[in-house]
Amino acid sequence: MDAAPDRLAMLGVWPSMSDQIVHHGPGAETPRRDFLLLMTGALGGIGLISALWPFVDTLEPAADTIAAGAPVDIDLAPVKPGQQIIVKWRGRPIFVVRRTPDQLKMLQDKADTSLLRDANSTEFQQPTYAKNWHRSVNPEFLILVGICTHLGCIPEFKPKGADVAGGNWPGGYFCPCHGSKYDLSGRVFAGVPAPYNLPVPPYHFTAKDKVRIGENPPNDDATYSLSDVDQI
């Protein structure tokens, strides 16, 4: 099921982002060269420009690794609390967020969960080892496939207080194409076009601050892969 990346390729946006990593949030930087890359993407896909962020190329996986669809190793140590980075795996943007204690508390608050379509992740959008309220292995780190489950746009990372939904935004993701919203566990809000939570890719930690995306944990009984997931 590689339809979503193909749609992005047709729009001329994702290829200009290839092999790049995106940082967003506290401490993010915007090198000029990377800004030019961003503008190149804009020429090919004005409709999705609001879904893009400035690029940096530290932590960049090797191009042949990406092309082969192999697992990608990420160093999480530089990711600041509350910050998101984006890496590319199998042609898909992968969102990685270091969540703060306040953000984790919010995700368990009834004020958040009562507004969600699938708060308990009953739909098969994550491996069994991420089937929990934080939809992750380590609650501190959120790892998602960053493709909206409606029609495949790239949702924007919107921290708490961002101008979303007329105020009182608790933090999460907003899709600029048709307005779908997700919380900071990638759980979709009710009443928006997207039918499912954002998918969680297979992954496991190889060390305290190192994660391998694209591979289930060793000795895990699950045979989870993205081809099992709906709408991506």
Q: Could you say which of 151, 162, 165, 226 contacts ligand FES (CB under 6 A)?
A: 151
Nearer to ligand FES, 98 or 181 (CB): 181
**Quick check: 184 binds ligand FES (CB under 6 A)?**
no
Which of 23, 24, 134, 178 is catalytic? The answer is 178
Nearer to ligand FES, 104 or 151 (CB): 151
Region near ligand FES per CB under 6 A, out of 26-34, 138-146, 151-159, 214-222: 151-159
Q: Could you say which of 153, 164, 188, 213 contacts ligand FES (CB under 6 A)?
A: 153
User: In the bound complex, what is the minimum distance in angstroms from residue 51's beta carbon to ligand FES?
Assistant: 9
**Quick check: 105 binds ligand FES (CB under 6 A)?**
no
* The token pair that represents 158 in the structure block: 């919107």
Nearer to ligand FES, 116 or 148 (CB): 148
Query: DSSP secondary structure string, the chain?
Result: --HHHHHHHHTT-GGGGTT-EEEESTT----HHHHHHHHHHHHH-GGGGGG---EE-TTPPPHHHHHTT--EEEE-TTPPTT-EEEEEETTEEEEEEE--HHHHHHTT-HHHHTTBSSTT--SS-S-GGG-STT-SSSTTEEEEE---TTT---PEEE-TT-S-TTS---SEEE-TTT--EEETT-PBBTTSS--SPPPPPPEEEEETTEEEETSPPTT------GGGSTT-
Which residues in 129-148 contact ligand FES (CB under 6 A)? Answer: 148
User: In the bound complex, what is the minimum distance in angstroms from residue 154's beta carbon to ligand FES?
Assistant: 9
Q: Could you say which of 38, 74, 142, 194 contacts ligand FES (CB under 6 A)?
A: 194
Any catalytic annotation for residue 150? no
Region near ligand FES per CB under 6 A, out of 29-37, 123-131, 170-178, 221-229: 170-178
Q: Could you say which of 177, 184, 200, 229 contacts ligand FES (CB under 6 A)?
A: 177
Please tell me the distance from the alpha carbon of residue 132 to that of residue 75, in angstroms, as a whole number.
24
Please tell me the distance from the alpha carbon of residue 152 to that of residue 192, in angstroms, as a whole number.
14
Binding site for ligand FES (CB under 6 A): 148, 150-153, 175, 177-180, 193-194
Give me the active site residues, please: 178
